[in-house]
Amino acid sequence: MNRFDIIVVGGGHAGVEASLASSRMGASTLLITIDNDSIGWMPCNPAIGGPGKAQIVREIDALGGAMALNTDETLTQIKLLNTSHGPAVWSLRAQCDKWKYSLGMKKRVEEAPNLHLRQGIVSRLIVQNDRIKGVEVADGSKFFADVVVLTTGTYLRGRIYISTWSMEAGRWSEPPSISLSEQIKELGFKMSRFNTGTTPRIDKRTVDLSKFKIEPGDFVPLHFSFWNVPKIYDNQIPSYIGWTNEKTVEVTRKYLNLSPSVMGIMVRIGPRTCPSMEEKVRWFPDRTRHQFFLEQEGFDTNEIYMQGMYMSMPYDMQLEVLKTVPGLENVEIIRPAYVIDYDYIIPTQLNMNYETKLIERLFIAGQPNGTTGYDEAAGQGLLAGINAALKVKGKEPFILKRSDAYLGVMSDDLINKELYEPYRITPSHCEYRLILREDNADLRLTRRGYEIGVVEEWKMKKVEEKEYLINEVKELIAKLSLNPNKEILDKLKQIGVSDISKPMLVADMLKRQDFTKDKLKKLDDKFKKYPDEVLEEIEVELKYAGYIAREKSAVKEFVQYENFMIPEDIDYSSVPSLSKEGRERLNTIRPRSLGQTLRITGIRPSDVQMLILYLKKREGGNSNG
């Protein structure tokens, strides 16, 4: 069989979600990857989630994706971060057994209906008349499809560096895609180059962990996937926190001239949020204390990932740097740190559905779009897979707005804004953080996913049950009143809640900071039957009602601009008085709405005003004609 509806190239986090999504929607899908045994592999830190990322993961889950489910099944530690702040930034983070995580994803791919797996290196796209037709593999095999989704990670002309030594590779021990990258450029795509790196892996048996601060997981009921029941994970592996010192910085500074980025032999633009040890010394010359984490990579290994200790100096020098840290005097490196640079396609050449503007029915997702991170890649892969299936079916694309989801924020940023570094999602990217919380992703998105066929019916029924219980509790607390009699006052005192002087509805009590869902269950047994996620949803809505109302008002204004649609056939050369840069950007991105226009890098307020005047004049002319 060599003809499919959809071909997905690359079996990383983007490729897995893309192929699973399209196959769930009934499209015959072929996933081609370099190594079938490294599907969903974690080449960097063994972690899922964190601020901004957890919101993405739970949105993937709400839309039927696999990342959250696989995380729950393979995690070695789980924590809820930012609990000292408001619920807008509460974020789950899990560390996983990277081998079990990969095996879990491979199993999902192998068992998925409509999904076929093929090991191979895609060397060329088959394109006719600016339309994708299929792909050619290095051994000469050809596969044909209506749609192709590229999720090639760091493999496009990837090159690994350890100081002056380098080799062509997509990641350690795996070949890059040289000819594919060259062809993409020949097709007319604008490309650029980023770098990323990974840390040394060290042998746990050679580390004195007593010299580090222990960082355990949370031993309370938690889960990443909405479709699992929260539980306490008893067998969690702790992480450890360490700090560099004056000697660490001194040794690093001594070998700065051996860093490939300092020597100028590789691209210097990498993730600003993950600076290497060499960059920390250069950027913060007066600081000697830099935090790092020791994270065990699985249950059945002694390998430890050193989160925060990215390096690219020679192996012996890496070892010398590490041995300056108390507890690492006898450390042994199992795998040295390295850095990799790679090509990416400038993402303003995509439509909002992740289809390229240049080649019809070619979609791109993940790191080839200039992003960094497993979570971001998986989110793009899911959306690309959904839209690839919709394209095959001749249906309208599935587009999430900034007001719908973090997935919408990421997509909007990639298509409309210039990248100056690899893109990583954070809560600061999102204007509507309180509405787009990680805990309500199922309420926001699952119904929409069910309507397009990417979410199973049983998941939709579970969300409907949750909605029913939320409404039931809301009705109950809107009627149930607490009277300040001795029995109630004694109960309030027992659970640590301040007195009331007059009758109060339970709904009003939940607005108080000292009254929580847990105290509500202690106060009245009838609430014990309701799941925590139901009561938490109501508590957040009530406690932050004013802030939520303001965000919803801002969303209404945002939607007005989003609904001001721009005709697809508009000729920007005929719009008078646009700035030169504005005209070029509009011609490149071709925004679908006025709202999208406002967010494009390089568009001036005067450009927007001229465009509005032109569109109103054009609309008036059409109505008169």
Q: How far apart are alpha carbons 584 and 602 in whole angstroms?
A: 9
Q: How far apart are alpha carbons 156 and 357 in whole angstroms?
A: 20
Q: What percent of the chain clears pLDDT 90, i.e. is strictly above it?
A: 91
pLDDT digits (tens, 9 = 90+) for 327-344: 999 999 999 999 999 999
| Cα 154 to chain centroid, rounded | 16
Q: Which amino acid is at 147?
A: V
State mean pLDDT over 568-585. Answer: 91
Q: In what order do the strands lie in the sheet with 91-96?
A: 47-49, 91-96, 75-81
H helix intervals, 129-194: 178-186
Asked whether the predicted pLDDT for residue 243 surpasses 80, the reply is yes
Q: What is the pTM of this model?
A: 0.95
Asked whether the predicted pLDDT for residue 69 surpasses 50, the reply is yes
Write the class of the CATH domain 457-550. Answer: mainly alpha
DSSP 409-446: HHHHHHHHS--SS-B---GGG-S-TTTS-GGGHHHHHH
Please say whether the beta carbons of 477 and 510 come within 8 A.
yes
Q: What is the pLDDT of residue 621?
A: 60
CATH topology (fold) of 564-624:
DNA polymerase; domain 1 (1.10.150)
Give the confidence band of 68 by pLDDT, cuts at 50, 70, 90.
very high
Domain limits of the chain? 3-41+52-74+89-196+343-452, 457-550, 564-624
> Which DSSP state fits 265?
S
Asked whether the predicted pLDDT for residue 623 surpasses 50, the reply is no
Cβ neighbours of residue 180 under 8 Å, at least 6 residues apart?
Answer: 122, 123, 124, 125, 152, 156
Give the confidence band of 618 by pLDDT, cuts at 50, 70, 90.
confident
Asked whether the predicted pLDDT for residue 402 surpasses 50, the reply is yes
Q: What is the pLDDT of residue 195?
A: 94
| Cα 158 to chain centroid, rounded | 22
β-pairing, 303-307 vs 291-296, is antiparallel
Q: What is the pLDDT of residue 379?
A: 99
Residue 568: C-alpha distances to residues 179, 586, 593 (Å): 34, 12, 10
Cβ neighbours of residue 263 under 8 Å, at least 6 residues apart?
Answer: 164, 257
CA nearest to 598, candidates 432, 412, 350: 412
Q: How far apart are alpha carbons 558 and 148 in whole angstroms?
A: 33
Q: How far apart are alpha carbons 393 and 453 in whole angstroms?
A: 12
Give the confidence band of 622 by pLDDT, cuts at 50, 70, 90.
low
Asked whether the predicted pLDDT for residue 624 surpasses 50, the reply is no
Q: What percent of the chain clears pLDDT 70, i.e. is strictly above it?
A: 99
The angle at the Cα of 606, spanning 348 to 572, to the nearest 5 degrees, equals 50
Q: How far apart are alpha carbons 332 and 126 in whole angstroms?
A: 48
CA nearest to 413, candidates 386, 396, 431: 431
Other Cβ atoms within 10 Å of 22 Cβ, number: 36
State mean pLDDT over 100-115. Answer: 98
State mean pLDDT over 7-30. Answer: 99
> Which DSSP state fits 325?
S
In the three-class reduction of DSSP (H, G, I as helix; E, B as strand; rest coil), residue 177 is classed as strand
State mean pLDDT over 421-443. Answer: 96
195 beta partners: 341
State mean pLDDT over 465-492. Answer: 94
CB hemisphere CA count around 504 (13 angstroms): 18
Q: How far apart are alpha carbons 295 and 280 in whole angstroms?
A: 21
Helix (H) or strand (E) holding 452: helix 441-452
Q: Which amino acid is at 253?
A: R
Q: How far apart are alpha carbons 133 and 41 in whole angstroms?
A: 29
Please say whether the beta carbons of 40 and 104 come within 8 A.
yes
Give the confidence band of 625 by pLDDT, cuts at 50, 70, 90.
very low
Q: 110 is written with which tokens?
A: 């192998």
Q: How far apart are alpha carbons 57 and 52 in whole angstroms?
A: 9
Asked whether the predicted pLDDT for residue 239 surpasses 60, the reply is yes
Residue for token digits 């041995």? Answer: 323
Please say whether the beta carbons of 433 and 88 come within 8 A.
yes
State mean pLDDT over 182-200. Answer: 97
CA nearest to 276, candidates 241, 332, 229, 317: 317
State mean pLDDT over 347-362. Answer: 98
Q: What is the pLDDT of residue 93?
A: 98
Q: 174 is written with which tokens?
A: 């795996």
In the three-class reduction of DSSP (H, G, I as helix; E, B as strand; rest coil), residue 118 is classed as strand
Give the confidence band of 422 by pLDDT, cuts at 50, 70, 90.
very high
Domain 3-41+52-74+89-196+343-452: give its CATH architecture.
Answer: 3-Layer(bba) Sandwich (3.50)
